[in-house]
């Protein structure tokens, strides 16, 4: 397992990320100007359909101001900041990649949300929290990097209160092998896609009851068509985060979706 985690860390190694983000954000004016989730959206929402997908998932999960939310695999923190800014809730993010956690903290200071949002470097398979600590857990485009799904979903259930919500938004397999490299893995060694049905079979035994279950592949394909029509540079501009090969990773995401090799699943569960 350590080999796999090292491989995932290597994929998201993002050397010098915070400095690159600082340079990219100069376009928004002086460092002391507060940034909004909308301004950061092209850089900090690392999943298909960007901020629109986070907005929909949060609504479906029923996030409210009094909740304590955990974002597992929080990336550079865009979804966590969006939830805090929009709903007024407290959000904790955990991510395997230290450079991503550093960048998430920096962007959160720039958004003036450090009082509500914090980040830790940790594995989703060993969450550093007590049982029943959170009201809701978000998992967006992370499970595809995790081979031990039973353990992942057990850990998420463990840190949730009974009656709490688990909202997942992830890439799923449609049976055919994807073209690599893709945004979550440059080779198949760190990619562990399950079909939508197998994902549900892994989640429910961990102690969850489905509240919402939807196939978002068509919406993702429509987004790819719009991105292709808007031409280079690739938008959203996650090349700043992932490096110069991101255009190729992103092109393969589009190709795999359009060829029906992969799909996009949105689901919300209640902790039983």
- Interacting residues toward ligand SAM by CB under 6 A: 8, 12, 45-47, 73-75, 78-79, 95-97, 100, 123-125, 140-142, 145-146, 184
Residue closer to ligand SAM by CB (options 66, 268) is 268
Minimum distance between the CB of residue 12 and ligand SAM, rounded to whole angstroms? 4
Q: What is the 3-state secondary structure (H, E, C) of the chain?
A: CHHHHHHHHHHCCCCCHHHHHHHHHHHHCCCCCCCCHHHHHHHHCCCCCHHHHHHHHHHHHCCCCCCEEEEECCCCCHHHHHHHHHHCCEEEEEECCHHHHHHHHHHHHHCCCCCCEEEEECCCCCCCCCCCCEEEEEEECCHHHCCCHHHHHHHHHHHEEEEEEEEEEEEEECCCCCCCCECCECCHHHCCCCCHHHHHHHHHHHCEEEEEEEECHHHHHHHHHHHHHHCCCCCCCCHHHHCCCHHHHHHHHHHHHHCCCEEEEEEEEEEC
Report the distance separating Cα 111 and Cα 2, nearest Å.
34
Minimum distance between the CB of residue 10 and ligand SAM, rounded to whole angstroms? 10
Minimum distance between the CB of residue 39 and ligand SAM, rounded to whole angstroms? 16
Residue closer to ligand SAM by CB (options 36, 162) is 36
Minimum distance between the CB of residue 228 and ligand SAM, rounded to whole angstroms? 20
Minimum distance between the CB of residue 30 and ligand SAM, rounded to whole angstroms? 26
Minimum distance between the CB of residue 140 and ligand SAM, rounded to whole angstroms? 4
Residue closer to ligand SAM by CB (options 70, 142) is 142
Would you state the structure tokens that stand for residue 47, as one six-digit string?
């999943």
Residue closer to ligand SAM by CB (options 79, 263) is 79
Residue closer to ligand SAM by CB (options 100, 106) is 100
Q: Which residue is nearest to ligand SAM (CB)?
A: 75
Residue closer to ligand SAM by CB (options 128, 162) is 128
């Amino acid at each position: 397992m350590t080999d796999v985690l090292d491989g995932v860390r290597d994929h998201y190694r993002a050397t010098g990320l915070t400095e690159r983000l600082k340079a990219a954000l100069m376009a928004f004016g002086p460092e002391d100007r507060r940034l909004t989730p909308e301004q950061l959206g092209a850089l900090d929402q690392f999943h298909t359909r960007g901020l629109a997908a986070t907005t929909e998932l949060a609504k479906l999960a029923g996030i409210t101001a009094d909740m304590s939310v955990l974002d597992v695999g929080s990336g550079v923190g865009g979804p966590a900041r969006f939830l805090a800014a929009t709903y007024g809730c407290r959000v904790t993010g955990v991510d395997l990649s230290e450079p991503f956690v550093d960048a998430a903290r920096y962007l959160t200071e720039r958004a003036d949300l450090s009082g509500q949002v914090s980040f830790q470097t940790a594995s989703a398979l060993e969450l550093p929290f007590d049982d029943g600590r959170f009201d809701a857990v978000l998992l967006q485009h992370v499970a595809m990097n995790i081979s031990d799904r039973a353990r992942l979903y057990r850990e998420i259930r463990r840190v949730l209160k009974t009656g709490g919500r688990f909202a997942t938004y992830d890439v799923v397999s449609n049976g055919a092998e994807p073209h690599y490299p893709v945004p979550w893995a440059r080779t198949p060694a760190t990619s562990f896609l399950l079909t939508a049905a197998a994902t549900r079979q892994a989640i429910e035994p961990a102690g969850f009851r489905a509240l919402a279950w939807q196939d978002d592949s068509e919406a993702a394909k429509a987004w790819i068509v719009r991105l292709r029509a808007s031409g280079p540079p690739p938008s959203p501009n996650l090349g700043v985060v992932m490096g110069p090969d991101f255009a190729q990773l992103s092109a393969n995401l589009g190709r795999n979706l359009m060829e029906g090799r992969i799909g996009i699943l949105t689901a919300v569960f209640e902790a039983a």
